[in-house]
Amino acid sequence: MKAKIMGAGSYTPSKKVSNAMLEKMMDTNDEWIRTRTGIKTRHISEGENTSVLCGKAALDILEKAGISAKEIDFIIVATMTPDGLSPSTACLVQDYIGANPVMAFDVNAACSGFIYALSIAEKLIQSGSFNYGLVLGGEVMSKIIDWQDRSTAVLFGDGAGGVLLGASETESSFLGEDIHSDGSRGESLTAGSRFVSNFQIENEMKDSYLQMDGRSIFDFAIRSVPESIRTVIASSNSTLEEIDCIVAHQANYRILKAIAKKLKIPVEKFATNIAEYGNTSAASIPILLDELLTNGDLILGSKKKIVLTGFGGGLTWGSMLIQL
């Protein structure tokens, strides 16, 4: 059995927060944010948690694909900002969309989460035991950010997106993958740490806000992402010239320019929407993919070759070569 991408969708909170609005909240300015990150606005939840953003994105996928929630055989949510430890956000999405009591689980690989989830979902479809699966990436980054820390508060946004995978006897959308982690550098981006405190040991509760060593993450991305993109293309005997578009995690526009330079390709090969959404972690790739399919830049069935690539906390990084 082969796995095919059969649709996409997304949902972002209606509240748009501009750089000018952030200038009034903290010591930052529009010029710095735009020139250092490429971000102009971001969508910030006014109370909708991750499961609701993902649920609304899932309903968008189902409506566009013309299938019922009752036809879904599994739900995977990639998130580093779950509603809570239990129930999983995926279980809450199962309830939200009215799916049958099917397999539903979360994957936490930070900004590479959607790549990890898509890889897992492909294998589930290939097993022949599942016909349709929803693969979602969703975040409410605004709930883990220290809004007094200008070095991180201006970077992130909230949102959700995803794809519908379906079983096909003849066609696969997946041509290759290259997926990694390196826990030895995990301290470069942390959030929500929980320390052992019980009747035997007292541990102070350190800040559980998102903390990032921007320089080290930047350097890691510039070193590891071009290599991953080259590896995934070579793994399917394709060439960089055959790639129509690179849909990369929207972390920072200067990162995309640096990766393009290392690959010796024009930065225009990289689709981008960071200006509007900021860094939405595991949601950034599916939100951008849905935007490209919705505006006709990409068309399912066109046979175009696309590279999806995520990178971030863990550290994690991963690329997939897909054919639409």
User: Does the annotation mark 279 as catalytic?
Assistant: yes
**Sign of the CA dihedral running 124, 300, 138, 157:** positive
Contact pick of 8, 44, 58, 221 for ligand 4VN (by CB under 6 A): 221
Residue 140 contacts ligand 4VN per CB under 6 A: no
Q: How far apart are CA 119 and CA 159, in angstroms?
A: 21
- Which residues have a Cβ under 8 Å from the Cβ of 68 and sit 6 or more positions away? 62
Contact pick of 17, 155, 179, 263 for ligand 4VN (by CB under 6 A): 155
User: Minimum distance from CB of 10 to ligand 4VN (Å)?
Assistant: 18
Q: How far apart are CA 217 and CA 228, in angstroms?
A: 16
Residue 312 contacts ligand 4VN per CB under 6 A: yes
Amino acid (one-letter) located at 173 = S
User: Does the annotation mark 203 as catalytic?
Assistant: no
Alpha carbon of 276 to those of 66, 114, 179: distances in Å?
28, 20, 28
Residue 111 contacts ligand 4VN per CB under 6 A: yes
* Cβ neighbours around 63 below 10 Å, total: 11
| Contact between 89 and 77 (Cβ < 8 Å) | yes
Cα-atom radius of gyration of the chain, to the nearest Å? 19
User: Minimum distance from CB of 208 to ligand 4VN (Å)?
Assistant: 17
Binding segment toward ligand 4VN, per CB under 6 A, in 17-25, 55-63, 211-219, 256-264: 211-219
User: Does the annotation mark 111 as catalytic?
Assistant: yes
- Which residues have a Cβ under 8 Å from the Cβ of 208 and sit 6 or more positions away? 144, 191, 192, 193, 194
49, 54, 108, 111: the active-site residue? 111
173-202 residues near ligand 4VN, rule: CB under 6 A: 189
Residue 37 contacts ligand 4VN per CB under 6 A: yes
46-105 residues near ligand 4VN, rule: CB under 6 A: none
By C-alpha distance, which of 184, 248, 262, 255 is closest to 221?
A: 255
229-258 residues near ligand 4VN, rule: CB under 6 A: 251-252, 255
49, 91, 249, 252: the active-site residue? 249
Interacting residue ranges for ligand 4VN, rule: CB under 6 A: 36-37, 111, 155, 189, 214, 217-218, 221, 251-252, 255, 279, 281, 311-312
Active site residues: 111, 249, 279
